[in-house]
Structure 1
Amino acid sequence: MNIKSLLLGSAAALAAVSGAQAADAIIAAEPEPMEYVRVCDAFGTGYFYIPGTETCLKVGGYVRFQVNATNLDGARDWNAFTRGRLEVVSKSDTELGELTGFIAIHGQSDNQFTGEDNFYMDEVYLQLGGFKAGNYLNWWDKGINGETDQIGGSRQNSIAYIYTGDAFTAGIQLDEIQESVVPGSDNDLGLEAIVTASFGAASIDLLGSYDFDAEEGAIRALVSAEVGPGTLQAAGIWASDVNYYYSGAEWTIAASYAFKATEKFTITPGVQYFDNFLFSGDDAWRAGLTVDYAVTEGMAVKVTANYNDRDGADEFWDGFVRLQRSF
């Protein structure tokens, strides 16, 4: 056998082995295409599409550390608490309008050794177009700038219809009222109606409510306007008597001016007067100052102090220092 014959025989053997191996080869399956999270800009910043759907989701909230203080007799001189808030918002467009789901959970720790830590739903609701139903803060919760005013606010199970125009908003809401904690007591109903109008740099809210259980009601006007380097706001309330929506006084007026000293620094003085305070026949007033400072993006400090004076009672002050990281 010469060299040429040997090389040809070896090549034939290798070809046969290769063919046999090719017949038994395992072919790996192609990987499934990966679907990356897409940004959803149809409803504002921070939303992204849930993979495989046309629903947009946004996650936010804050972490807050706060120390309250007062010299009111019978109250703790100071008290610290820490709170975490988690918000999840879902939105999508439908043939009936924008569909929204909102969940806000609070976890708050006052003192872990006294069992005061708690988790609770702060707000949870659904909304389709102008129709809204759930447990959420009512229209009375909207206050004026600063931390001096006391002009109402609560949450309850409610159903509402809200019309929103370019410069005009109107809404009507039916509330479940649970004023009694006595077992077996019946719940009752309350009704709210609001009209909001904007006029350039100014706006006005007119809010009225009626408590069917107490058969009493309250009305409120809130005005806001851009004046100079800040925002001037004022609110006035009249209540027919003690009721679920407002029982702080027969009538009261509050005002504040949020002076924006710099991009990061805002100073807000405020004052409020109460006639027939707590329907006791006494007058009272409250004045204070709130300072807000943006330490950096997403991190802020708020400090407030308020002086309180009521006929026939000792004067006292209260306030707090708050650190908050929002996201």
Structure 2
Amino acid sequence: MKTPLAAFAALLIPACGAHAEDASLSAAPEPASYVRVCDAFGTGYFYIPGTETCLKVGGYLRVEAAGGDPNEQDTVPGGGGDSWSTRSRLALRLSSAADTEHGTLSTYGEAEIENVDNGPTSLNIENAYLELGGLRVGYSDTLYTEFTGDAGNTINDYYDVNYGDFGRTQIRYTYGEETGLSFALSAEDDSDANSSVVADAAKPDDDYMPDLVAAFGYSAEGFRIRAVGGYDESMNAGAVKLRMDGTLGPVELFAMGGWNTNGSEPNNYARWSGDWALWVGGTFKMTEKAAMNASANFDQGGDAEAALNMTYTIAPGFTVAPEINYRNRMDEKAGPNAKDWGGVIRLQRNF
């Protein structure tokens, strides 16, 4: 019996080996497909697999604590109370870009998830627009503010002397590069509720006529000048701003002035008191990791406010910024016991 069994086993083993070899060949893994880096539009982009569109994902996480009457942290009627306010925010940013025969086609979206004082968590869309060449359509900061920039690098860069910190759905065209001449035009949807400081706040801006903004600027090494004007169609009034920036070694300085075409009444683009407003400030780069920022604002109505902070980079992408704030006439604005000083500290991780 041993001889026939041995012969059968000798025939069976090679056959099984052949089948095992075929199975291993058919189950061989495919070559790995890696995401390609896209450097045509800056750092952080990668190609969406199977397309020529580049994508970038980023954002930041921010935690703040603020106190003092200027930051509306009074717990006693009439001001003068002691309290802290806390705020935590997660901002997610998504950018895409691709070359087309008409120029670069790009999109940008930014969503903010925020919680204040342990209350209900809110979701805010900060940006949602597309661009083709110099044309932009969608929701973003008004051209009136984006072209001239914020009032410095402080956290609370204004209280009462508002330079126009709001967003609009708009159609915009911009021409120019980072250096040399540039100009921009935009038609902006004004159907949202007006700021409470605007004279016709109770009147809905729900008609076919948009607000209009025009801007012009020139930039060279170490110097920049920009001008912008906004027209509030519902009030048949507007405002203009002129800003100059200069760099002297580690010091960056700016001055910006605003003029209300109808000083007796604030409008969508002139949200300060009186005919004129002034914003000044600067940044001193102390070291590679530390910088000091200052800003001060004034208007014809007698408002005066200021901020001073220092930002320090603890690790790449992670900064801390303590800041002191001043806002005049708080006894008139918040109650007889309110004080003019406050403060805030911010920790932020960019990614």
TM bracket (short chain) = 0.7 to 0.9
2:139 to 114, 131, 135: 135
Relative to 1, partners in 2 of residues 1:24 and 1:143: Cα closer, same or farther, differing over 3 Å? closer
Per the alignment, in what secondary structure is the counterpart of residue 33 of structure 2?
coil
**Distance in 1 of aligned mates of 2:326 and 2:276:** 20
**Distance in 1 of aligned mates of 2:171 and 2:43:** 28
- Map of 1:21-60 to 2, 5 A cutoff? 26-27=22-23, 28-60=26-58
Relative to 1, partners in 2 of residues 1:20 and 1:232: Cα closer, same or farther, differing over 3 Å? closer
Specify the alignment match of 1:293 in structure 2: 312
Number of equivalenced pairs? 312
Query: In 2, are the aligned partners of 1:179 and 1:244 still within 8 Å (CA)?
Result: no
- Map of 1:94-105 to 2, 5 A cutoff? 94-105=100-111
Q: After TM superposition, what 4+ stretches of structure 1 lie above 6 angstroms from structure 2?
A: 9-15, 22-25, 181-185
Which one has a bigger Cα radius of gyration?
Answer: 1
2:291 to 266, 270, 275: 266
**Distance in 2 of aligned mates of 1:285 and 1:72:** 12
> 1:21 Cα deviation (Å)?
5.1
Q: Tell me if 1:203 matches 2:216.
A: no
1:159 to 171, 185, 192: 171
> 1:271 Cα deviation (Å)?
1.9
**Distance in 2 of aligned mates of 1:145 and 1:172:** 24
Query: Residue by residue, what CA displacement relative to the aligned partner does 1:205-226 show, whole Å, maximum 9, x if unpaired?
Result: 1111101011111000111110
**Distance in 1 of aligned mates of 2:37 and 2:260:** 48
Q: Report the more deviating stretch, 147-156 or 51-60.
A: 147-156
Query: In 1, are the aligned partners of 2:163 and 2:270 still within 8 Å (CA)?
Result: yes
Unaligned runs of 5+ in 2: 75-82, 195-201, 334-338
Per the alignment, in what secondary structure is the counterpart of residue 210 of structure 2?
strand
Query: In 2, are the aligned partners of 1:292 and 1:300 still within 8 Å (CA)?
Result: yes
Percent identity over paired residues: 31
> 1:152 Cα deviation (Å)?
1.9
Unaligned runs of 5+ in 1: 1-5, 278-282
Specify the alignment match of 1:325 in structure 2: 349
**Distance in 1 of aligned mates of 2:72 and 2:318:** 34
> 1:257 Cα deviation (Å)?
2.1
**Distance in 2 of aligned mates of 1:22 and 1:151:** 80
> Aligned AA for 1:206?
A
- Map of 1:99-118 to 2, 5 A cutoff? 99-112=105-118, 114-115=119-120, 117-118=121-122
Specify the alignment match of 2:240 in structure 1: 219
**Distance in 1 of aligned mates of 2:311 and 2:255:** 20
> 1:18 Cα deviation (Å)?
6.1
TM-score (norm 2): 0.80
1:251 to 276, 280, 285: 276
Specify the alignment match of 2:77 in structure 1: none
**Distance in 1 of aligned mates of 2:297 and 2:192:** 27
Query: In 1, are the aligned partners of 2:190 and 2:206 still within 8 Å (CA)?
Result: no
Relative to 1, partners in 2 of residues 1:254 and 1:184: Cα closer, same or farther, differing over 3 Å? closer
1:144 to 136, 151, 161: 151
> 1:32 Cα deviation (Å)?
3.2
Query: In 1, are the aligned partners of 2:142 and 2:188 still within 8 Å (CA)?
Result: no
Query: In 2, are the aligned partners of 1:284 and 1:311 still within 8 Å (CA)?
Result: no
Query: In 2, are the aligned partners of 1:43 and 1:91 still within 8 Å (CA)?
Result: yes
Higher strand proportion? 1
Query: Residue by residue, what CA displacement relative to the aligned partner does 1:159-201 show, whole Å, maximum 9, x if unpaired?
Result: 1011123422211011000254879872452111111211221
Relative to 1, partners in 2 of residues 1:125 and 1:58: Cα closer, same or farther, differing over 3 Å? same
Specify the alignment match of 2:336 in structure 1: none
TM-score (norm 1): 0.86
**Distance in 1 of aligned mates of 2:10 and 2:293:** 89
Query: In 2, are the aligned partners of 1:153 and 1:245 still within 8 Å (CA)?
Result: no
> Aligned AA for 1:251?
W
Per the alignment, in what secondary structure is the counterpart of residue 270 of structure 2?
coil
Query: Residue by residue, what CA displacement relative to the aligned partner does 1:85-128 show, whole Å, maximum 9, x if unpaired?
Result: 0001011111111011111111001134x43x111211111111
Q: RMSD between aligned alpha carbons?
A: 2.8
Q: Tell me if 1:284 matches 2:303.
A: yes
> 1:22 Cα deviation (Å)?
7.5
Specify the alignment match of 1:280 in structure 2: none
Query: In 1, are the aligned partners of 2:171 and 2:187 still within 8 Å (CA)?
Result: yes
Q: Tell me if 1:93 matches 2:99.
A: yes
Specify the alignment match of 2:212 in structure 1: 191
